[in-house]
Amino acid sequence: MTRISWSGAGERVFEAGVDRGVLYVDGSPGVPWIGLKSVSHKPSGGDAKPRYMNGVKISNRMAPEEFQATLEAFTYPDEFERCDGTYLGQSGMRLKQQRRKAFGMTYRSKVGNEIDGLSHAYKIHVLYNLKAEPSERSRNSLTDATEAMSFSWNLSARPPRIPGYRPTAHFEFDSRDVPTALMQQLEDILYGSDTSSPSLPTPGELIFLFDSFEDLVYDAGSPYTPVFVTYDAGTTSTPVTDTIDGGAL
């Protein structure tokens, strides 16, 4: 038996910061969100739904939780204008209050401790099917002390269906838990690489990527490879009696 200790080295963990924001619109390659200031999650729902029988609580189920957040930035990519209800007309004319497009995005938050500081670890957050609702914007007279204007949007989402799980619009990947090679694959997809453009994988592609990592039975290719063939479950010296269908995404 070991007594609980509250003084272990490196166990004072905290989270801080936001960086590496990327915007994805209409299946186009992702673009960096430079000037991202904060992403404040404030989910709704998830409240208790107790049931009583003869004055006794017999269940305490929780209602489904919905994704909501507030995004703040000093500026935003040009591709976000359509998500903000701004459409580009002829000769640089911009029309406001137009239909807002859905979008996806990813950002990174840091995880620190008392030994490594903020270089200890990080989390990648992937958000799907977002809609942005602009909040109040104030433009003030200039003074001797110029202060940069900040933009803000309330975010809501239509969560995609996930086989075996409740629908969700928010995926999180912690570098302390995800194998390094797998995290590198994920970052190459989200941020791009020397051979591919940055893109937002579907939830199904994410689940396939993580479920098939270091799969010792068969390799169905990358999460972007359509699977139309079957795979031999045995070795080269094993008679083929069964095949494994790679299935579809």
Within a domain: 87: yes
- 132-181: per-residue pLDDT in tens? 998 878 787 888 888 888 899 999 999 999 888 889 999 999 999 999 99
Verify that 131 and 71 share a domain, yes or no.
yes
**pTM (2 decimals)?**
0.80
> What pLDDT, on the 0 to 100 scale, is given for residue 229?
46
Instruction: Categorise residue 111: left if φ over 0, alpha if ψ from -120 to 50, beta otherwise.
Output: beta
Range of the domain at 235: 215-249
> Which among 40, 15, 34, 41 is positioned nearest to 111, based on CA atoms?
15
Verify that 123 and 158 share a domain, yes or no.
yes
Verify that 122 and 160 share a domain, yes or no.
yes
Verify that 27 and 123 share a domain, yes or no.
yes
Query: Do residues 93 and 85 touch, judged by C-beta distance below 8 A?
Result: no
69: pLDDT strictly greater than 90: yes
SS3 106: strand
How many domains, in total, are found in the chain? 2
Verify that 41 and 67 share a domain, yes or no.
yes
Average predicted confidence (pLDDT) for the chain: 86
Verify that 192 and 127 share a domain, yes or no.
yes
Reported as a pLDDT band with limits 50, 70 and 90, residue 237 is: low
> Which among 11, 7, 39 is positioned nearest to 23, based on CA atoms?
39
Structure tokens at 66: 């919905």
Verify that 40 and 81 share a domain, yes or no.
yes
Phi, psi angle pair for 205, to nearest 5° = -65, -35
Within a domain: 36: yes
> Which among 132, 12, 123, 149 is positioned nearest to 79, based on CA atoms?
132
Verify that 74 and 105 share a domain, yes or no.
yes
Verify that 232 and 153 share a domain, yes or no.
no
Verify that 247 and 193 share a domain, yes or no.
no
Residues listed for the chain: 249
Verify that 159 and 224 share a domain, yes or no.
no
> What pLDDT, on the 0 to 100 scale, is given for residue 113?
92
Verify that 90 and 128 share a domain, yes or no.
yes
Higher pLDDT among residues 14 and 44, named by residue: 14
Query: Do residues 103 and 153 touch, judged by C-beta distance below 8 A?
Result: no
DSSP structure string for 134-175: E---------SS-----EEEEEEE-PPPBTTB---SEEEEET
